């Protein structure tokens, strides 16, 4: 038991010296401000089907319309729903190509609500995102 205690103290000292601090409750809250969306091309040109999640609590489908006929980069209007089919949110979604990846912005009433980065995968566009603080 003494050996375990010494190892734990040593690890804490090393992490403190390296500038690594243990996670706090506020870190956990900040981590919950993370979402993920997977967009796939719909048979209708300019339309993307979405599957989204926010933290580990909220998730559901969505549909983005008004985009370009080819590729993912463009301007869309997107509506998201919860798993039970109830309406969640809607945004103007701007997807921009950035090197090998993509940048995404979700806008409500002309104000930036969320930002994200993504990458093209075999059957779609995978995007990690977070809400923007007011």
Residue 39 domain flag: yes
d(CA 42, CA 64): 9
Residue 26 domain flag: no
Residue 44 domain flag: yes
So what's the pLDDT on residue 19?
43
Residue pair 105/117 in contact by the 8 Å Cβ criterion: no
Residue 11 domain flag: no
Residue 3 domain flag: no
So what's the pLDDT on residue 11?
36
pLDDT tens across 112-123, in order? Answer: 999 999 999 998
d(CA 131, CA 71): 25
So what's the pLDDT on residue 31?
55
What letter does residue 99 receive in the DSSP assignment? T
Whole-number average pLDDT of the chain: 83
pLDDT tens across 76-105, in order? Answer: 999 999 999 999 999 999 999 999 999 999
So what's the pLDDT on residue 78?
98
Residue 31: exposure state from Cβ atoms within 10 A (0-12, 13-18, ≥19) = exposed
Domain that holds residue 62: 31-131
d(CA 129, CA 109): 19
Residue 62 domain flag: yes
Residue 118 domain flag: yes
What letter does residue 132 receive in the DSSP assignment? P
Q: Please tell me the total count of domains within the chain.
A: 1
Residue pair 56/78 in contact by the 8 Å Cβ criterion: no
Residue 80 domain flag: yes
Rg (the chain; Cα; Å): 20
Residue pair 39/63 in contact by the 8 Å Cβ criterion: no
pLDDT tens across 17-41, in order? Answer: 444 444 444 444 555 799 999 999 9
Q: Over pLDDT 90: what percentage of the chain?
A: 72
So what's the pLDDT on residue 133?
80
| pLDDT reading at 109 higher than 80 | yes
């Amino acid at each position: 038991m003494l050996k375990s205690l010494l190892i734990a103290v040593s690890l804490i000292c090393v992490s403190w010296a390296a500038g690594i601090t243990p996670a706090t409750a506020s870190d956990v809250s900040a981590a919950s401000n993370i979402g993920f969306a997977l967009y796939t091309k719909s048979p209708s040109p300019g339309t993307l089907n979405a599957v989204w999640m926010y933290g580990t609590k909220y998730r559901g489908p969505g549909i983005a319309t008004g985009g370009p006929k080819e590729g993912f980069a463009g301007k869309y209007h997107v509506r998201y729903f919860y798993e039970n089919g109830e309406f969640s949110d809607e945004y103007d979604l701007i997807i921009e190509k950035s090197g090998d990846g993509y940048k995404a912005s979700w806008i409500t009433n002309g104000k930036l609500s969320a930002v994200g980065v993504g990458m093209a995968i075999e059957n779609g566009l995978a995007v990690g995102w977070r809400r923007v603080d007011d």
